[in-house]
């Protein structure tokens, strides 16, 4: 384990497509989505054990969730929980963490991961991450992990790579040709059939100095903000600086702001049972189905029910009869019953509930 390997966990999102389970005051990353007794945030940090030391783990989250993060990761010192005053997408989030880490360790290699993704084969995952870290340590590259697609999924972004040997790069790294946001089904089928496209996992590896230089080159407005306040990071003045800094940062993703523009972007193809768990259907896909292909978490009795995903509180007995291909999800004061084929409407449901019932349900 290298002492200058760092982990940045992005844990500020709401995950509204997982409503009603994921709510503004208790987002998906703080839930035991997998039904294994650990929250998504806890599972994320767990899978990096042995990759980087605990003192090098940082979590970036909304300030409203700082206490929740500490409850889930009590071993994490408070100064390793970086609170954002407002959400500004992934670029400012990554800039904040990268500048903070670079100030502490100029030789740092940084792994960036979302807090709410699932990995089923953790040993393969750690092996892949270690290869990426080793490559980033010795090369001035921005590495993203690309997942070998299992199907033409329209819910993921895609990365096209150049299938050619690059003698200067460690084995397995491929030069990125294009990024494509969520395509339609016809395009997704073409991508998968071509064999040179991967799903965009949102996992990144790079040296601190390399990503900071990329901010200078491609997002200079954001780098200027953090250059101005570098001396305040890691001091009692940090919180006040970040409050002011985020008002100057635009809302932009790291993919759009840097990865799609930089010429030193490489992808490491990977296959370790990954899912972004962005939707109820994704939970059905990676869950443990019963003999009727239902994925169930809760105290549930089923009759004549197939192809459903059901997640309900363990303290409530739920009896379901006669459903085929439905989502049944209950959390707190909301029960959702929805066709799996219509789950893209969940955001519409959330918007309607907010408009008609107020803020107590979103």
CATH class name, domain 5-275: alpha beta
Q: Can you list the alpha helix ranges (DSSP code H) found in 88-207?
A: 90-104, 122-138, 185-194
DSSP code at position 361: G
pLDDT for the residue numbered 167: 55
Q: pLDDT tens, position by position, for the chain (362 residues)? A: 678 999 999 999 887 888 998 888 899 999 998 888 999 999 999 999 999 999 999 999 999 999 999 999 999 999 999 999 999 999 999 999 999 999 999 999 999 999 999 999 999 999 999 999 999 999 999 999 999 998 888 888 899 998 776 656 776 899 999 998 888 888 889 888 888 899 999 999 999 999 999 999 999 999 999 999 999 999 999 999 999 999 999 999 999 999 999 999 999 999 999 988 888 988 998 889 999 999 999 999 999 999 999 999 999 999 999 999 999 999 999 999 999 999 889 989 999 999 999 888 88
- Give the strand pairing for 197-207 and 109-114: antiparallel
pLDDT for the residue numbered 192: 87
Q: Is the pTM of this model over 0.85?
A: yes
DSSP code at position 65: G
- For the chain, which residues make up each domain, given as ranges? 5-275, 287-357
Structure tokens at 210: 């390399």
Q: Can you list the alpha helix ranges (DSSP code H) found in 171-228?
A: 185-194, 208-218, 220-228
- Give the strand pairing for 142-147 and 197-207: antiparallel
3-state secondary structure of 311: strand
**Nearest 5 degrees, angle CA 227-CA 229-CA 231?**
100
Query: How long, in residues, is the chain?
Result: 362
Backbone angles phi and psi of 312, in degrees to 5: -135, 160
């Amino acid at each position: 384990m290298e002492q200058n390997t760092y982990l940045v966990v992005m844990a500020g999102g709401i995950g509204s497509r997982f409503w009603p389970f994921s709510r503004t005051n208790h987002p998906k990353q703080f839930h035991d989505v997998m039904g294994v007794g650990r929250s998504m945030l806890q599972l994320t940090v767990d899978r990096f054990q042995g990759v980087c030391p605990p003192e090098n783990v940082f979590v970036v989250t909304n300030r409203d969730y700082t206490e929740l993060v500490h409850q889930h990761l009590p071993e994490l010192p408070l100064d390793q929980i970086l609170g954002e005053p407002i959400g500004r997408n992934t670029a400012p989030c990554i800039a904040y963490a990268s500048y903070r880490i670079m100030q502490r360790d100029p030789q740092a290699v940084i792994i960036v991961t979302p807090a709410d993704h699932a990995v089923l084969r953790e040993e393969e995952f750690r092996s892949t991450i270690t290869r990426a870290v080793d490559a980033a340590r010795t090369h001035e590259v921005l590495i993203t992990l690309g997942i070998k697609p299992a199907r033409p999924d329209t819910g993921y972004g895609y990365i096209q790579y150049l299938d050619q040997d690059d003698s200067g790069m460690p084995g397995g790294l491929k030069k990125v040709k294009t990024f494509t946001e969520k395509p339609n089904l016809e395009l997704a089928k073409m991508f998968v059939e071509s064999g040179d496209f991967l799903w965009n996992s949102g996992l990144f590896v790079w040296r601190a100095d390399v990503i900071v230089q990329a901010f200078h080159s491609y997002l200079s407005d954001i780098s200027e903000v953090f250059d101005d306040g570098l001396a305040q990071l890691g001091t009692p003045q940090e919180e006040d600086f970040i409050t002011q800094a985020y008002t100057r940062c635009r809302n932009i993703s790291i993919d759009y702001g840097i990865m799609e523009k930089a010429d030193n972007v490489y992808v490491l193809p990977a296959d370790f049972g990954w899912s972004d768990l962005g939707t109820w259907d994704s939970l059905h896909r990676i869950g443990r189905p019963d003999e009727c292909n239902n994925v169930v978490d809760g105290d549930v009795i089923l009759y004549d029910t197939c192809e459903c995903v059901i997640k309900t509180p363990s303290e409530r007995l739920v009896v379901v009869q006669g459903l085929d291909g439905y989502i049944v999800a209950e959390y707190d004061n909301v029960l959702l019953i929805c066709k799996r084929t219509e789950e893209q409407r969940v955001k519409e449901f959330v918007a309607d509930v907010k408009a008609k019932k107020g803020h107590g349900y979103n």
